[in-house]
Structure 1
Amino acid sequence: MLAQRPSFRFLATGAIVSIVAFAFLIFGTRSSRDAASRYILKTARLESSSQTHCAQETYPTPPNSSWEFVVERDALNHGLSDEQCQLAFPKLFVETDKSALLRQEAMITYKDLDSREVEDGMVRAIIDRGQLYIVEYAPMPVTASRARATLNSLHRALMATPDRHLLPSIEFIFTTEDFANDPTGRGPVWAYSKRDADDSVWLMPDFGYWAWPEVQIGPYHEVRRRIAAIDDGETAPDGSYVPGLRFQDKKKQLVWRGSLATNPAVRSKLLKSAQSRSWASVRVIDWADENDIRFNLLPIEDHCRYMFVAHTEGRSFSGRGKYLLNCRSVMISHPLIWREAHHAALVSSGPDANYVEVEQDFADLPRKVDFLIDNPQVAERIAENAVRTFRDRYLTPAAESCYWRHLVKQYASVLDFEPVLFATSRDGKLTPRGTPFETWLLMN
């Protein structure tokens, strides 16, 4: 798929200088030898047909293969092969593939990457032979836990990769903010969400797949266990079985807890539409008021005790969406502007519908909730579809790791350079550009 790479990684000083000089003369990527020695141009540019094949790469079912994704066995398997990932999650990689297609004719250069400053909340990193290195870590006034969660998730996906030393080498920047500023001409950046027009943004899994302590949500695998216990039951410590909550026995209400401040234009309309409705359990939380939090906060798994769960975007995406889709409940949402990796699997109509979409101003919310309450078999079918599609497939930890590896490969397919781990300083000495993640983690 990719052009052949040099077999050597740690170049002697003279070799580096030669390659850098060549790159400078031909491409003019940097005015400084120090800067130019941070990358190696790939040995050959791919032909357009090859680029197209790489960006749309698929992994056909092996001959006579009978492998199928079984959630009880595979949900926590972070080391599925490429073929298994494609078989299990065919809709998961839509956004990443689109980003790669956009760069087929204009591959990402080192100058492109370097044009985006590593500002507050950003991290610059290298993946080399499956190993993660931290190159630059900007100040994190409020998002430090997000950065650590994201890096840990990526590292986990890399460590679980079969033959990870064969993964392509890349250099990238990601932001831990709710969204990436994407003015024209800025370099590529990885972010938790994106809009259709954000051409330089590459979608990555959000921090909640590791843990989200700020809103009292623990590790993702533990949240999934607590949610499944409510819906499917569990065995208690004393060995007795605690049955799950049947869908028809759930509270026939729409539940929502959150702050208006992050998106008043949308969230205030939800409150207005739900006001004084017997089917509404909609409350605003003031995160600055401990008493208000104590009274109104609802553990994320307890949302699943309601038949209907409301989803609204915040400053960009809302991190609660993936938790709600783990419930055997009906998620009701306005049209979503901000994309997440699993959104390609959302279906809002027909027999395969796995959520319900209402108008942007929630004007039709009462009518649709009344219909679902009056037609419980329809509501239950939608809830069951959500479980099969999301809890038991696209929102499994296994899917997250598959997505990380696909992102690395697709990003590499349109990168016209390979990073180097050692740069040559003006005095001719080799200096490391990045800190191994394991070391960085103990220092931060």
Structure 2
Amino acid sequence: MGLSPKNTARAPSYLLPGVSALAAFSITALLLYKVDDFASQTKTVAGHNLDPTPWHLFPAKTFEQTRQARAYKIIHCSYLACHSGTSTIPEQPQAHPSKPTEKCLDFFRWIHHDLEPWARTGISLSHLAEAQKFAAFRVVIVAGKLYVDLYYTCVQSRMMFTIWGLLLLLKRYPGKVPDVDMMFDCMDRPRINVTEHKSMPLPLFRYCTTEDHYDIPFPDWSFWGWPETNLRPWDEEFRDIKRGSQRISWSKKWPQAYWKGNPDVQSPVRLELLKCNHSRMWGAQIMRQDWAEEARIGYEQSKLSNQCNYQYKIYAEGYAWSVSLKYILSCGSLALIISPDYEDFFSRGLIPKKNYWPVSPNNLCPSIKYAVDWGTKHPFEAKEIGKEGQKLMESLSMDRVYDYMFHLIREYSKLQDFKPVPPYSAQELCPESLLCIADIKQRQFLEQSTTFPSQAPPCTLQPSNSNLIKSWIQQKKKIVEDVEDMEKVKTERRSN
């Protein structure tokens, strides 16, 4: 006799799909939570999950994507883009030049001067650890690959375009850029004061410096474009400005000193400059730049090539140095440079009365008027000085910008007393990862500045010569003093 089967309780069939759906939903929700949590801890060169620099505050950045889309973009661009196997930069075979390599421009000698504080001591990991307190990010290059450790975001897209320039340098001179470990700050004012840090100079790269700071000047982001102000990559912008400068002959240009910019940047000089806006009294036309309005109307009123219709153009520093210097010199007008406190990497090559005219900030409006009057009496000399300023900017092509970067990094790397190793928190970046994380407009500007391997080696850097640098400084001061004396003589004659 057989045993009867036991009665087994079974779940109703209609519950199984619900349970499965709930399980799938829970797993998906958990996965999305983990992905979102992982993305929220990932910092990017676009500024995701980074606070503004505490030493130069500005509004925190906002991003328009949904939370899920942002998380996907951050993970894809930060961890997958560099390993996709595709390249957006064309590779061209490097030719071996038959002629000798040309010498670098004279101002390249300042590289030795900028690195002099570490010539005897070298640069150690202790130097970098202290410099990190003043840095927004750290760049480590090892075997031709670039790694970035992010600490703070920078205003607008400065960080992105600075790193883009470094990535293109690696593409331009493949296999030639040495292993290096550098700290960067991408805000305006130098911070490593000579008096405060004399016992231990800290190597910190930025866009400008002064004679009272150790900060090492590096080509600024706008050489690769500045999407927030609609400024294109440097070579393209210079060509357009030069064409604009040739539309009207010198004699038909307005015999006035022209300036257009933003005075609301904590700049005493620019605020004082507003008082000089009187064409008859001071020979000057001073215009306020409203970037918000310019963006609204499509930057039609701020095109630089349309601002070369004046015989004189004024350069005035902003919060610190200003990227506008290279564009003002490019016009071929006589550049009236209000004696600056800050210098960038190429401005040390400027010589007063050769490629610009010095203007005193202590007697601003009369000094501008004197320059305009001098140019009116000496039109040939004024025109030639303007041409020399434009020639200097023409010689500063992107080829030379990359060469300056190359030699600065190469000389800096020689001072390191350690083997660079990317910190565990650093990310590998490549051109594809930056194009991936950029927004539509940023990507457009980045792609416009794309480069390819150079068919010629870098220019030849001249050896260090501190006496020559000192003579340049003394020569410049002497010429500026002579111009000030000329102004004083004229003022005294008027008063008598």
Q: Establish whether TM, by shorter chain, passes 0.5.
A: yes
> 2:147 aligned with 1:133, yes or no?
yes
How many residue pairs match? The answer is 335
Matched, 1:89 2:105: yes
Q: C-alpha separation between the residues in 2 aligned to 1:377 and 1:173?
A: 46
Distance 1:248 1:263, change over 3 A: farther
**Conserved 8 A contact 2:180-2:420:** yes
Q: Which ranges of structure 2 fall in alignment gaps of 5 or more residues?
A: 1-93, 439-496
2:269 and 2:372 map into 1 onto residues whose CA distance is 18
Aligned equivalent of 1:224 = 238
Gaps of 5+ in 1: 1-77, 233-243, 424-430
Cα deviation for residue 181 of structure 1 reads 2.0
Measure how far apart 1:321 and its partner are: 0.3
Distance 1:211 1:378, change over 3 A: same
Show the 5 A alignment for 1:231-242: 231-232=245-246
Contact 1:182 1:198 in 2 (8 A): yes
Kept in 2, the 8 Å contact 1:80–1:398? The answer is: no
Corresponding residue SS for 1:281:
strand
Q: Deviations over 1:364-398 (max 9, x none)?
A: 2112211212321111111121122222x1x2111
CA distance in 2, matches of 1:284, 1:407: 37
Contact 1:129-1:166 at 8 Å conserved across structures: no
Question: What letter is aligned with 2:407?
Answer: H
Say yes or no: does 1:435 pair with 2:436. Answer: no
Indicate the residue corresponding to 1:407 in structure 2.
408
Call closer, same or farther: CA 1:224–1:317 in 2, change over 3 Å: same
Query: Is 1:175 paired with 2:185?
Result: yes
Aligned to 1:156: 168
Q: Matched residue of 1:435: which SS?
A: strand
- The one-letter code sitting in structure 1 at the alignment partner of 2:144 is G
2:308 to 296, 304, 311: 304
**Match 2:155 to one of 142, 153, 159:** 142
Q: Deviations over 1:318-353 (max 9, x none)?
A: 11001111111111011121111112221113xxx1
SS in 1 for 2:335: strand
Q: Distance in 1 between matches of 2:343 and 2:359?
A: 17
Name the SS for the 1:91 alignment partner: helix
> Amino acid of the residue matched to residue 313 of structure 2?
V
Say if 1:266 and 1:118 are closer, same or farther in 2 by CA, change over 3 A: same
Q: Distance in 2 between matches of 1:295 and 1:128?
A: 41
Name the structure with the higher helix share.
2
Q: 1:191 to 1:85 in 2, by over 3 A?
A: farther
- Kindly provide the amino acid, as one letter, of the partner of residue 313 in structure 1: E
Q: CA shift at 1:286, angstroms?
A: 4.0
The Cα shift of 1:289 comes to 5.5
Q: CA deviation at 1:443?
A: 4.6
Report the secondary structure of 2:412's partner residue. Answer: helix
Structure 2 residue matching 1:116: 3-state secondary structure: helix
In structure 1, the partner of 2:358 is 357
Aligned residues: percent identity? 22
Assess if the C-alpha contact under 8 Å between 1:93 and 1:403 holds in 2. no
Is the aligned partner of 1:346 residue 2:358? no
More strand per residue: 1
Any conservation in 1 of the 2:330–2:390 contact (CA below 8 Å)?
Answer: yes
Contact 2:276 2:284 (8 Å CA) reproduced: no
Cα distance in 1, alignment partners of residues 100 and 343 from structure 2: 24
Q: How far 1:84 sits from its partner (Å)?
A: 7.2
AA in 2 matched with 1:196: E
Q: Which amino acid aligns with 1:435?
A: E
Answer whether contact 1:285 1:293 (CA < 8 A) is retained. Answer: no
Q: Does 1:335 align with 2:339?
A: yes
Alignment of 1:238-317 (within 5 A): 244-277=247-280, 279-287=283-291, 297-317=301-321
TM-score normalised by L of structure 2: 0.62
Partner deviation per Cα, 1:200-241 (whole Å, 9 max, x = no partner): x11100111011122221222221121122234xxxxxxxxx
Distance 1:406 1:291, change over 3 A: closer
**Residue-by-residue CA offset, 1:1-33 (whole Å, 9 max, x unaligned):** xxxxxxxxxxxxxxxxxxxxxxxxxxxxxxxxx
